[in-house]
Amino acid sequence: MTLDGVMQNEENDGDGFKYGGWFFPFADEVTGAIVQERLAKPVDLLLGRKTFEGWETYWPTHSNFWPNVNTATKYVASNTRDSSDWKPNVFLSGDLAGKVRELKQTDGPDIQAFGSANMLQTLFKADLVDALELMIIPVTLGTGKRLFQDGTIPASFKVTNAQVAPKGIICATYERDGDVKSGSPQIKED
């Protein structure tokens, strides 16, 4: 995401976004290695319908970059679709928060969400996000879909991994760490 929280990276969403590809000038070998490490993890995917529709034509023919994408179960948040030839998939309609809460109680690999800005708003409000794996790119765009577009609940996170890549991308993993903690300055009097 950008410094101002924009996640959107495609111009073809039909919403007038004009800065597609903003990430690529900042990519380097370090960020490439981090991405590959993250993609190598066995996971299932939770995707919004728009993200899924963009991926279902692309990833089946580009899986050499991300082999797990085709074997992962794709859980798709959609009230308008219920099937796809890109398997395995499960379409989730109705109460998304309730269905994700149920999924989190089952055995299996971690469930990761990519993109899907609209769907993430539901997950944040229902306190269903356990960790954030972010790449914060040193650019501001002013417009576009944002990670915290609609706000979120008060919550604390702790950094469990962080690295700054040569072109300034901050790669960090934040894990949920309870409620918001507060305090006061610890400055001694002169």
Query: How many C-beta atoms surround the C-beta of residue 47 within 10 A?
Result: 24
Could you tell me if 79 and 9 are in contact, meaning their C-beta atoms sit under 8 angstroms apart? no
Q: How far apart are CA 58 and CA 52, in angstroms?
A: 10
User: Is the model's pTM score more than 0.75?
Assistant: yes
Confidence band for 141, pLDDT divided at 50, 70 and 90 = very high
**Token pair listed for 109:** 């690999």
**What average pLDDT does range 68-85 have in this prediction?**
97
Question: Side by side, which strands form the sheet with 43-48?
Answer: 89-92, 74-77, 43-48, 110-113
**Token pair listed for 31:** 């960020």
**What average pLDDT does range 146-170 have in this prediction?**
95
**What mean pLDDT value characterizes the chain?**
94
Strand 74-77 to strand 43-48: parallel, antiparallel, or no bridges (unpaired)?
A: parallel
**What average pLDDT does range 93-97 have in this prediction?**
97
Q: What was the pLDDT predicted at 9? A: 80
For residue range 4-43, list pLDDT tens digits in order. Answer: 999 988 776 667 899 989 999 999 999 999 999 999 999 9
Q: Exposed, middle or buried: residue 96 (CB in 10 Å: 0-12, 13-18, 19+)?
A: buried
Which domains does the chain possess? Answer: 24-176 (3.40.430.10)
In this structure, the chain runs to a length of: 190
Q: What was the pLDDT predicted at 15? A: 78
Q: Where are the alpha helices (DSSP H) in 18-166?
A: 29-39, 49-58, 68-71, 96-104, 117-125
